[in-house]
Amino acid sequence: MRIAVFGAGAWGTALALAFSRGHEVVLWSREAAEIAAMRSDGENRRYLPGIPLPANLQLTDDLQEAARADLHLVVTPLAGLRSTARALQAAAPDTPLLWACKGLEAGTAKLPHQIVAEELGPDAACGVLTGPSFAAEVAQGLPAAVTIASSDIEFARYWVQALHNNRLRLYANDDLVGAEVGGAVKNVMAIAAGVADGMGFGLNARAALITRGLAEITRLGIALGGRRDTFMGLAGLGDLVLTCTGDLSRNRRVGLLLAEGKTLPDILEALGHVAEGVSTTREVAALSAKLGVDMPITNAVDGVLNGTLSAREAVEQLLARDPKQE
Ligand SMILES: NC(=O)C1=CN([C@@H]2O[C@H](COP(=O)(O)OP(=O)(O)OC[C@H]3O[C@@H](n4cnc5c(N)ncnc54)[C@H](O)[C@@H]3O)[C@@H](O)[C@H]2O)C=CC1
Ligand SMILES: O=C(CO)COP(=O)(O)O
């Protein structure tokens, strides 16, 4: 099968590597310079250094050429999903589409599948690939398990069968909303965990944060139409635990650096990669307020990111809440 991966950052490159073990894969970047550098370096030195690119992996900055494929897999930051989906719809309509971006669209609070439905139509054959998966580990061939979720379970099952291998294990799910909410909001919680750890609050506090974070994710997800059991699976708890505890997480690193007193612009410049939680937090805070869903951790992170709260004030605000039933 010919699989086209759109977005040659850390995760797009790692997925291209993973799937090139069993398929013909073409990796596209909108940046001609990124493709030229990968060709001459034999690796993606900017986003995934130290991992050689296999000879059978095709590299291109020509979207028309890449779009001639059996599957389109969009792995840009969420901010690039709409324009990439639109370009693919023009170049090769009716090609099955998966995306691996996590977050809520800045300014609209839309989930990725809502963006795709607007660009490809409501009946497009599509779904999300999401779950606990640090690019650096997947690229090294270390084991991982992720979910393909689609409102059409047969679509999810088909692509699980086609893409599954014994290093990147895939599971099918028909709860697209739940899977996307899990992947989006865990990044908010990872920033919170980074702040708490950076301030030295300890392991008990981190476990409390993950557990109460899962409660927030579940409340929002159910309000949006997701299913409770999805939040206990790979796209929910799995990704939440990974990102809140693993130092490979960019979102967790944002929190750690905020706790050190660094400013957000400096942090983002030093990171050199997208940290989706930064823009998603604002959207989740606004959406939960609109829906009347209680999300105190999200609101605290929002306060820190928009500069109305210091990291210490945010923690004090959370600790001062009235006791509640679990
Ligand atoms: N890195 C990881 O371990 C994982 C990342 N993800 C998700 O995958 C998405 C991509 O993340 P990374 O690859 O890590 O990002 P990255 O920051 O490493 O790379 C971003 C890439 O996207 C390109 N890009 C930026 N804006 C674009 C646009 N508007 N249109 C087309 N291309 C654009 C950049 O040139 C670069 O090649 C994010 O939504 C992230 O949450 C999901 C699972 C794991
Ligand atoms: O989504 C991820 C792992 O599943 C990667 O998380 P970060 O974007 O925080 O690095």
Among 311, 250, 116, 277, smallest CA distance to 187 is for 277
Pairwise CA distance, residues 95 & 69, whole Å: 8
217 with 289, same domain: the answer is: yes
Instruction: Domain of residue 256: give its range.
Output: 177-320
Band of the pLDDT at 294, cuts 50, 70, 90? Answer: very high
| CB atoms near residue 106 (< 10 Å) | 15
Single residue among 156, 174, 192 that ends a domain in this structure: 174
Provide the CATH number for the domain around residue 95.
Answer: 3.40.50.720
Domain boundary among 174, 192, 209: 174
Q: How many domains does the chain have?
A: 2
Residues 65 and 17 in one domain: yes
Cβ-count burial 61-94 (b if 16+ within 10 Å, e if not): bebeebbebebbbbbbbbebbbebbebbbebbee
The answer as to whether 168 is a domain residue is: yes
Q: Which ligand is nearest to the CA of 183?
A: 2
Question: Cα–Cα distance between 151 and 276 in angstroms, integer?
Answer: 24
State whether 116 and 191 are in the same domain. no
131 is in an annotated binding site: yes
Q: Do 205 and 308 fall within a single domain?
A: yes
Mean pLDDT in the chain?
97
CA 298 to CA 217: how far, in whole Å? Answer: 10
- Do residues 83 and 114 both lie within one domain? yes
Query: Is 104 domain-assigned?
Result: yes
Say if residue 77 is in the same domain as residue 198. no
* Bridge partners, 275 (sequence order): none
pLDDT of residue 326: 87
Summarize the confidence of residues 28-35 as an average pLDDT: 98
Please identify which residue in the block is written with the tokens 């109305």.
Answer: 308
pLDDT at 324: 87
Which atom in ligand 1 lies closest to the alpha carbon of residue 134?
3
Query: Do both 199 and 169 map to the same domain?
Result: no
Same domain? For 245 and 220 the reply is yes
Q: Is 11 annotated as a binding residue?
A: yes
Active site (annotated) includes residue 186: yes
Alpha-carbon distance of 97 to 116, in angstroms, equals 9
Give me ligand 2 centre to Cα 319, in Å: 27
For position 316, what pLDDT does the model report? 86
**By the 8 A CB rule, do 293 and 225 touch?**
no
> What pLDDT band is residue 42 in, cutting at 50, 70 and 90?
very high
The closest-lying atom of ligand 2 relative to the alpha carbon of residue 276 is 8
Specify if 326 maps to a domain: no
Checking if the pLDDT of 322 tops 90, the result is: no
Considering the domain boundaries, does residue 325 fall inside one? no
Q: Are residues 197 and 169 in the same domain?
A: no
Q: Is residue 250 marked as binding?
A: yes
47 CB within 6 A, ligand 1: yes
Residue at which a domain ends, from 146, 174, 202: 174
Q: Do residues 78 and 211 both lie within one domain? A: no
**Stretch 141-169: mean pLDDT:** 97
78 and 217 share one domain: no
Q: What is the ipTM of this complex?
A: 0.99
Q: Which ligand is nearest to the CA of 131?
A: 2
Same domain, yes or no: 99 and 194: no
- Judged against a pLDDT cut of 90, whether residue 251 lies above it is answered with yes
In the reported structure, the alpha carbon of residue 7 is separated from the centroid of ligand 1 by a whole-number distance in angstroms of 6
What is the domain-level CATH number for residue 266? 1.10.1040.10
